[in-house]
Amino acid sequence: MSKVILDMSMSLDGFATASGQTAEEPMGPGGLKLVNWAIDNPDERSREVMSRGIGDTGAVIVGRRTYDTSVAWWGDTGPTGDEHLPIFVVTHRETEPYGVYRFITGGLEAAVAQAKEAAGDKAVAVSGAELGQNLLRAGLLDEISVHVVPVLFGSGTRLFDQIDAHVVLEPLEVVDTPNAVHLRLRVS
């Protein structure tokens, strides 16, 4: 059975976006710094982390807010580039499928079940701070892959803002690069 992995970048002070998000800057002013490790001339170790992450992934789950703010940049093929992986969008609004996107109104469990089925033996990647927190609280996350970028935002969207209990994590891997420290942790 496939694993469900929250895979996000965050600032050193814990933000997944900078404050002041707009349609033109969905990650807030300067927020793109969080993904530069993957797209702006990454070093070899970061390329390996990115390549392995995409290669091991069979489907993606995002929240409606992440979809709404990102689809203009992702287009109908989604955030996985040439892989064209199926993207399951957790939403309360019925929406017709579009490109690689499937809109799930049946809740978190339904989204995870459909994404796991689509992923087969590969992992299900999760993107979105609020969605990740909800999946963690519901006991539906197996791992967290976080890319800590050397920047301080001071405000924005916290990656782990509303965790209401202690969550024990087991370190599985640490990859230190000039543009990010990549951590992979098992949720115990």
pLDDT in tens, 66-95: 888 888 888 888 888 778 899 999 999 988
Q: Work out how many domains the chain is built from and give that number.
A: 1
- Residue 152 belongs to what domain range? 4-187
Q: Residue 188 burial by CB count (10 A; 0-12/13-18/19+): exposed, middle or buried?
A: exposed
Q: Is there a contact between 117 and 102 (Cβ–Cβ < 8 Å)?
A: no
HSE-up (13 A, CA, CB side) for residue 183:
16
Q: Is there a contact between 97 and 71 (Cβ–Cβ < 8 Å)?
A: no
Stretch 140-169: mean pLDDT: 94
Residue 148 belongs to domain with CATH number: 3.40.430.10
User: Given this model, what pLDDT does residue 50 score?
Assistant: 85
Q: Is there a contact between 64 and 90 (Cβ–Cβ < 8 Å)?
A: yes
